[in-house]
């Protein structure tokens, strides 16, 4: 305790270990808790396949067919997982990522499938970006110099938001880190009468080295060596991330996100102290794959390590966590 004399009579005989003597005592005094209600499952759906395709760099994760996606959503709902977020893998890509707003695009079809299957028993979210759909792998359209055109990209995000809302999505999740994207998306949704569709903004998305397996999962190869540092956050900066989040909230974000989670626990904690809206964190593909790789070599217990990391993210202040461990952890909770 700050400013307290540990030799004072009031603290005489105090032993903190008394609070750790039994499992039930530890439960009673736990400062942070992790439960199935804190989990959101990222799911991939691929156009033009007849059976799920395993993703080698993400053990236990697959690119789903529309049918297998429905089955997975039902299983997650039965385990009590409250939400999922969709990422699409189209058969064809182009310079503008037009499949992202095609009414018959894979994510729009999958949203409609899921809402028909699970209804309001799960929150169906959809990633709102262009990188899965562009042939150059960037999160927006590029100009003649190969740079992402912020304003032209934001105009297309409006179209994506409208398409996802028309399909029945509950939450759109813009992840491109374009300036003004939240305001533009909110205006598009409200203009369509989709005022109940919420926005989960990837507000502090860092240009991280931990995204490699995800790019395998969505078949993305980024032009110019994969450099997104011009629009994603600099890993050196925390105050700037807090400002990005403040701006997104001012533009109409209902929820905000820090991504990745584990290497940015300080940012999560800083943001939690500064904002009152729901705060998400994304335990990203590289963080997930690293635990699996170590566990496969016998270097750690996968379940224990996953639970510890997720609890740390909650302790830092995240209200919910996007994690590829969602089903595994929900099954562990169901066994207790």
Cβ atoms 322, 280 nearer than 8 A: yes
What gap in Å lies between CA 255 and CA 277, rounded to an integer?
6
95, 134 Cβ separation under 8 angstroms: yes
Residue appearing with tokens 């940012």: 267
Catalytic residue among 46, 70, 205, 292: 205
DSSP string, 312-327: HHHHHT-SEEEETTHH
Name the nearest CA neighbour of 88 among 37, 12, 163, 148: 163
Structure tokens at 96: 């503008």
Quote the CA–CA distance of 55 and 34 in Å, as a whole number. Answer: 27
Distance (Å, whole) CA 329 – CA 334: 9
Establish whether 205 is a catalytic residue: yes
CA angle 250, 278, 304 (to 5 degrees): 145
CB count in 10 Å sphere of residue 239: 9
Strand 123-128 vs strand 83-89: parallel, antiparallel, or unpaired? Answer: parallel
How many Å is the Cα radius of gyration of the chain? 21
In the annotation, is 259 catalytic? yes
Q: Give the largest Cα separation in the chain, rounded.
A: 74
How many of the other CB atoms lie within 10 Å of CB of 112?
17
Output the CA torsion sign for 293, 297, 301, 305: negative
Spot the catalytic one: 64, 93, 136, 259: 259
What is the distance between the alpha carbons of residues 319 and 307, in angstroms, rounded to a whole number? 15
The pair of structure tokens assigned to 327 is 């089903």
From the DSSP assignment, how many helices (H) and strands (E) are in the chain?
11, 10
Q: Which residues are catalytic?
A: 205, 259
């Amino acid at each position: 305790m700050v400013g307290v004399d540990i030799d004072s009579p009031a603290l005489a005989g105090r032993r903190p270990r008394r609070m750790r003597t039994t499992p039930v005592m530890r439960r009673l005094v736990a400062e942070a808790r992790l439960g199935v209600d804190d989990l959101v499952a990222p799911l991939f759906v691929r156009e033009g396949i007849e059976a799920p395709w395993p993703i080698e760099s993400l053990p236990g994760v697959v690119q789903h067919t529309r049918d297998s996606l429905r089955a997975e959503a039902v299983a997650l709902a039965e385990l009590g997982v409250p939400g999922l977020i969709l990422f699409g893998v189209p058969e064809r890509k182009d310079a503008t990522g037009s499949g992202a707003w095609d009414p018959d695009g894979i994510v729009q079809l999958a949203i409609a499938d899921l809402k028909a299957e699970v209804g309001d028993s799960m929150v169906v979210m959809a990633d709102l970006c262009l990188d899965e759909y562009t042939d150059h792998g960037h999160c927006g359209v590029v100009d003649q110099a190969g740079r992402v055109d912020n304003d032209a990209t934001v105009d297309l995000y409006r179209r994506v938001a409208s398409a996802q809302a028309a399909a029945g999505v509950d939450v759109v999740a813009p992840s491109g880190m374009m300036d003004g994207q939240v305001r533009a998306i909110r205006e598009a949704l409200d203009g369509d009468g989709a005022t109940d569709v919420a926005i989960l903004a990837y507000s502090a998305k860092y240009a991280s080295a931990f995204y490699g397996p995800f790019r395998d999962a969505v078949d993305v190869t980024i032009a110019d060596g994969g450099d997104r540092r011009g629009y994603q956050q600099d890993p050196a900066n925390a105050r700037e991330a807090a400002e990005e989040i403040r701006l997104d909230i001012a533009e109409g974000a209902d929820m905000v996100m820090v991504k990745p989670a584990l290497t940015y626990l300080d940012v999560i904690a800083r943001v939690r102290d500064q904002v009152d809206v729901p705060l998400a964190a994304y335990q990203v593909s590289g963080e997930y794959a690293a635990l699996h790789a170590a566990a496969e070599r016998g270097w750690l217990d996968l379940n224990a390590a996953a639970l510890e990391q997720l609890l740390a993210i909650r302790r830092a202040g995240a209200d919910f966590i996007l994690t590829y461990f969602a089903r595994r952890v929900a099954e562990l909770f169901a066994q207790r």
